[in-house]
């Protein structure tokens, strides 16, 4: 629901949490608190749900002292409340310091353990190896390889 397909159609059965672009859904004229509710609404969460998860979002983003400024950490904290059926993560784990990246990766692993399907897009081979169990290697918009994480990551490393 964040972006419309350029061709064909997409049918969604279940809850999808898209992390395609961390700035998507944020209004930089609003405070971080206001952006929490705005972004939650864009993801289909009611005000009551956002009230229920507000403290967890603030705690996870580590921004309690900075709630008057919008920061990208909030997008991850908001998009990953609850357990969606599908989590789409597109190059967003490069945001923040190493400790925050580890924290995000751990939350993704916890969601996988609860049955969430993760669609993870990244150029970071180490993160791909840590998070994924199957890989689709795209080159110029076409599938170059699909399959095992270890062998495709090794082939990718050797090709560049």
Mean pLDDT (whole number) for 53-79: 82
Rounded mean pLDDT of the chain?
84
Q: Is the pTM of this model over 0.85?
A: no
Could you tell me if 25 and 38 are in contact, meaning their C-beta atoms sit under 8 angstroms apart?
yes
pLDDT at 81 over 60: yes
pLDDT at 54 over 90: yes
Least confident of 6-20, 22-36, 81-95, 123-137: 22-36
E strands in the chain? 16-19, 86-90, 117-121, 134-139, 142-148
Q: What pLDDT does residue 116 have?
A: 93
Mean pLDDT (whole number) for 61-77: 77
* Structural tokens at position 12: 């969604």
- Tens of pLDDT along 108-155? 999 999 999 999 988 889 999 999 999 999 998 899 999 999 999 999
pLDDT at 53 over 60: yes
* Structural tokens at position 33: 């608190």
Name the β-bridge partners of 142: 139
Name the β-bridge partners of 143: 138
Q: What pLDDT does residue 6 have?
A: 85
Q: What pLDDT does residue 69 have?
A: 66
pLDDT at 2 over 80: no
Could you tell me if 59 and 76 are in contact, meaning their C-beta atoms sit under 8 angstroms apart?
no
């Amino acid at each position: 629901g964040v972006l419309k397909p350029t061709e064909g159609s997409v049918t969604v059965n279940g809850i999808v949490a898209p992390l395609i672009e961390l700035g998507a859904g944020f209004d930089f004229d609003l405070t971080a608190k206001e952006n929490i509710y705005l972004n939650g609404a864009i993801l289909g969460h009611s005000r009551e749900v956002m009230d229920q998860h507000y403290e967890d979002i603030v705690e996870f983003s580590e921004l309690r002292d900075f709630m008057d400024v919008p920061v990208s950490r909030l997008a991850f904290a908001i998009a990953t409340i609850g357990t969606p059926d599908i989590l789409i993560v597109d190059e967003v784990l490069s945001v923040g310091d190493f400790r925050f990246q580890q924290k995000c990766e751990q939350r993704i692993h916890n969601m996988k353990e609860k049955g969430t399907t993760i669609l993870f897009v990244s150029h970071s081979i180490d993160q791909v190896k840590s998070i994924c169990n199957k890989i689709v290697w795209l080159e110029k918009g076409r599938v170059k390889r699909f399959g095992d994480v270890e062998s495709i990551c090794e082939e990718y490393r050797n090709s560049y």
